[in-house]
Amino acid sequence: MALTGDYKLISTEDMLQGHAELCIHAYGFVKSMALKCAIELGIPGAIHGNGGGATLGELATIIALPPSRLPRLRRLMRVLTVSGVFSVQHQQPDDSAGDGMTDDSRFVVEVLLREGRARDVFSGVRSMVDVGGGTGTIAKAIAAAFPHVECSVLDLPHVVAEAPAGGEVRFIEGDMFEHIPPADAVLLKSVMHDWRDDECVKILRRCKEAIPSREAGGKVIIINMVVGSEKSKGNSTKKEEAQALYDLFLMVFEGGEREEHEWEKIFLEAGFSGYSIIPMLGIRSIIEVYP
């Protein structure tokens, strides 16, 4: 999304709302795919035959779905409920059993720099490595806005080969599963949803090795969705719908977005002591994770 013209006259909330609606249109085809899948699984008939309602566990049993597929059923039903095909009356805790990327990065940076809390995120940070940062769109913007932060980008050799030479950002070839260069903070934007939980734990452990203690200001900064966070705060259903659509879209690639309890689980498994969620990016949030 290129930001041109009089975009500065638009409020941050309007920009984020527009971004959510853009995501809904971009991934709108997922709705018809989800409905087709539900019909083929016999979900409408199963719910009707169960008295007009069913928990995820009951639904999985009725349609003879293997237990290992329950998380995917939850994601499918999330799309169908936020889209208005089905409704949720009560959810038990056990039910929770390129160019485009560059434009998206510019959008995220624009919102970050317009919000005062961004300064809190980078306060006290002297060095930062952007893992999977591509050609450095975000790192360059952060370096320009916060001159005291020494910014680096870690990415695969073929990506770094396309990065512009010179400038205030250092580019490093490497594999995030093997080693992450030391820094006060490690940035992971739209990285974690591409990987399984066990793979995310490996990435986070490498991050933990790269940063100093919490007392010394060490932290991991994650920019990703926290699914359901908007509902819990009574915010826009458009954002919730966009989250659900994108999450189901990622399932095609074996990826997925996470709810807060799922984030917490991988943080603890990776050995981190705590985290905080800053819901300031519309359908996405900033998650600070502390060693």
- CA nearest neighbour of 236 among 284, 276, 277, 283: 283
90, 179, 193, 261: which one is catalytic?
A: 193
DSSP 110: H
Q: Catalytic residue at 48?
A: no
Phi-psi region of 285 (alpha: psi -120 to 50; beta: other; left: phi over 0): beta
Alpha carbons 185 and 165: distance in angstroms, whole number: 23
SS3 272: coil
Alpha carbons 185 and 152: distance in angstroms, whole number: 11
Burial status of residue 98 (CB atoms within 10 A of its CB: 0-12, 13-18, 19 or more): exposed
Alpha carbons 67 and 65: distance in angstroms, whole number: 6
Residue 112, phi then psi, degrees to nearest 5: -55, -45
Tally of CB atoms within 10 A around 178: 8
Yes or no: say if 176 and 159 are a contact pair by the CB < 8 Å rule. Answer: no
Strand partners of residue 48:
none
Q: Which residues does the annotation mark as catalytic? A: 193
